[in-house]
Amino acid sequence: MVDVPYDGIAGIPPAEVPDVELYHPKSWWTRYVFSQDAKVIAVQYSLTASAIGLVALVLSWLMRLQLGFPGTFSFIDANQYLQFITMHGMIMVIYLLTALFLGGFGNYLIPLMVGARDMVFPYVNMLSYWVYLLAVLVLASTFFVPGGPTGAGWTLYPPQAILSGTPGQDWGIILMMASLILFIIGFTMGGLNYVVTVLQARTRGMTLMRLPLTVWGIFTATVMALLAFPALFVASVMLLLDRLLGTSFFMPSLVEMGTLSKYSGGSPLLFQHLFWFFGHPEVYIVALPAFGIVSDLISTHARKNIFGYRMMVWAIVGIGALSFVVWAHHMYVSGMFPQFGYFFATTTLIIAVPTAIKVYNWVLTLWRGDIHLTVPMLFALGFIITFVNGGLTGLFLGNVVVDVPLSDTMFVVAHFHMVMGVAPIMVVLGAIYHWYPKVTGRMLNDVLGKFHFWVTFLGAYLIFFPMHYLGLLGVPRRYFELGDAAFIPPSAHSLNAFISVVALTVGFSQMVFLFNLVWSLFRGEPSGGNPWRATTLEWQTPETPPGHGNWGKELPIVYRWAYDYSVPGAEQDFIPQNQPPRATRAAQGAAS
């Protein structure tokens, strides 16, 4: 065979490097604290989210102590238990997962993966973090105000959320609303950056269909969040006005403590519509980045191109669109017009189709792949299993007739922890093991990592799988103690004690992880620029960790998609996205 080098790059003008007005830090303060560099902002977001997430983790231990051993711990009373539930849920869903996926991974990975020097509005990006930090501080301050944090449940349903008798009625609920409003303002600033950077700052050759799925996931989730968070904003503002100025947007007329309250005529159902119009897309705002990241982890660590890339992209977009028309499946028992339930059950079940496509594609990517059981891969596999489990119980709960008896039982708790608690956290942990070498230049310790994985994965399964059975028995959620109900057998109490012991164990294994993060920062094995031999652009930076402006003098040019693993005839089992075609074709010619 005549070796004709493929002349793909002839006749193309040299890369024009647009004069980006990069911001240059002048002092330690502007380099590490008030930094406008997306990579620093990403680390700030991640550390803040993890710190407040640890608070939520401790709250879950306290809840488990009470549930597993009721009456043993006198320092937990019923009001505190409700406060723990509320804060645990709110922190985990919004202040940890949303902030970590979009503010943390989004900030770090989007500019690097699309080949940009930074986010397009660095100053706004910096503001976004500081407003987020303020929101977190306002939220944390509720632990110290008179009356403590609100105990209204993370859904904050009125009228109960702002009536006396609910813990935190004085300050807790007000600061909660203020914190949410701040969070949404901060997120909007960040979100504008993520969207416009993907639209406008992609390097040359990076068409949408060459984007890594991580970017697709984060991009779509950000678009959804920008459209969904305003609903929470509207709900928070109106509830705050009801509480502070005595308006009756949501508050019906009712008798409070024996006296007729000042409210009249409001609609609690309106709040639920607004809340879940945000709340359901929120599930996918957390899930889509996880979907994207896990696709890249599986492909890289199985040394195989992702199966059905196009389908994966369409599924992400399809899930994003569909998730806006399923919100009322959270409201089957709310007293809304019953025929709504039929419509929303249908859309809910339809959304299982693109989700199932994604699961099949992950499994088919693994099929006959060169699977390396690295820690990121283990977490990715753990994600698939917990996500399938949580997704299947979602099919149960999506049907009105099955949902009605299961509403407000532990079954629901088990379902949503599996699908949007454990599953996305698996991806977060896997992604940290995967990208830590890029952020710090050092590998995380492998032995500690494997220990962390097995305890977390098996433990999380042992916690949440048995909860389904508690739910089927009818054990209610949100109850401080179960008492002597006839339908709850003694075995349910022993099961609760077992779950609590496992929960504490899993919690402590996270301390091993934290130790690993700090220890490896100083003592970890140096990783080099591309330890996983991955194709995407962030692994091709001239420096590791990437320097200011990411790419030396010239921006990379992209010649191929992100999944050229194990290409037959190629020199190595991966071809970076910025490697020109000529080099590989010549290698192929030599090989044949």
Partner 1 sequence: MSAIVLFLAVIAVIAGWWLSHQRLTAKPWLEEGPIGDFPGTDAMTWPAAKIGLGVFLAVASALFVLFISAYSMRMAMVDWRALPVPRLLWFNTGVLVLSSVALQWSYVAARRDDTDGVMIGLLAGGAAAIIFLAGQLLAWQQLSAAGYFMASNPANSFFYLLTAVHGLHLTGGLVALGRTSAKVWRHDAATAEMRLSVELCTIYWHFLLLVWLVLLGLLTGWTDNFVDICRQLLS
Nearer to partner 1, 348 or 510 (CB): 348
Nearer to partner 1, 118 or 538 (CB): 118
Residue placing its CB nearer to partner 1 in the complex, 252 or 474: 252
State the DSSP code for 260. E
- What is the nearest approach in angstroms of partner 1 to the Cβ of residue 249? 6
Q: Which is nearer to partner 1, 232 or 425 (CB)?
A: 232
Strand partners for 526: 442
Residue 178: CB minimum distance to partner 1, A: 16
Give the nearest distance from C-beta 251 to partner 1 in angstroms. 10
Tell me the closest approach of the beta carbon of residue 203 to partner 1, in angstroms: 8
Minimum gap (Å) between residue 272 Cβ and partner 1:
11
As measured in angstroms, the least distance from the Cβ of 196 to partner 1 is: 5
Closer to partner 1 by Cβ: residue 505 or 572? 572
Cβ-Cβ contacts under 8 Å for 396 (sequence gap 6 or more): 402, 403, 406, 411, 415
Compute the C-alpha angle 289/209/302, nearest 5°.
Answer: 60
Residue number with CB closer to partner 1 (12 or 17): 12
As measured in angstroms, the least distance from the Cβ of 230 to partner 1 is 4
Supply the Cα-derived Rg of the chain in whole angstroms: 25
Q: Among positive and negative, which fits the CA dihedral 65, 70, 73, 76?
A: positive
The residues, any chain, with a CB within 8 Å of residue 98's CB and separated by 6 or more, are 187, 225, 282, 285, 286
Least CB distance to partner 1 at residue 323 (A): 11
Cα dihedral 98, 102, 108, 111 in deg (nearest 10): 180
State the residues that interact with partner 1 by CB under 8 A.
8-9, 12, 120-121, 188, 191-192, 195-196, 199-210, 223, 226-227, 230-231, 233-234, 237-238, 241, 245-249, 262, 264-267, 270, 273-274, 277, 305, 309-310, 313-314, 317, 321, 324-325, 337, 557-561, 563-564, 580-581, 584
Residue whose structure tokens are 């977060």: 428
Q: Which two tokens stand for residue 446?
A: 């492998």
Which residue type occupies 404?
Answer: V
Which residues lie below 8 Å from residue 437, measured CB to CB, with a gap of 6+?
443, 444, 527, 528, 531, 532, 544
CB 504 within 8 A of CB 542: no
Q: Which two tokens stand for residue 122?
A: 């660095």
Whole-angstrom Cα distance, residue 407 to residue 476?
9
Residue with smaller CB distance to partner 1, 188 or 386:
188
Select from 583, 541, 478 the least CA-distant residue to 108: 541
Where does 151-276 show beta strands of DSSP type E? Answer: 255-256, 259-260
> Nearer to partner 1 by C-beta: 284 or 433?
284
Q: Which residue, 101 or 249, is less far from partner 1 as judged by CB?
A: 249
Question: Shortest gap between Cβ of 521 and partner 1 (angstroms)?
Answer: 34
In the block, tokens 């193309």 appear at: 12
**Which residue lies nearer to partner 1 by CB, 126 or 444?**
126
Q: What gap in Å lies between CA 77 and CA 31, rounded to an integer?
A: 46
Shortest Cβ distance from residue 63 to partner 1 (Å)? 33
Q: How far is the CB of 498 from partner 1 (least distance, A)?
A: 43
Identity of the amino acid at 377 = M
- Which residues neighbour 417 within 8 Å (Cβ) at sequence distance 6 or greater? 390, 463, 464, 467
Of 279 and 437, nearer to partner 1 (C-beta) is: 279
Listed residue (384, 463, 388, 366) closest to 426, CA to CA = 384
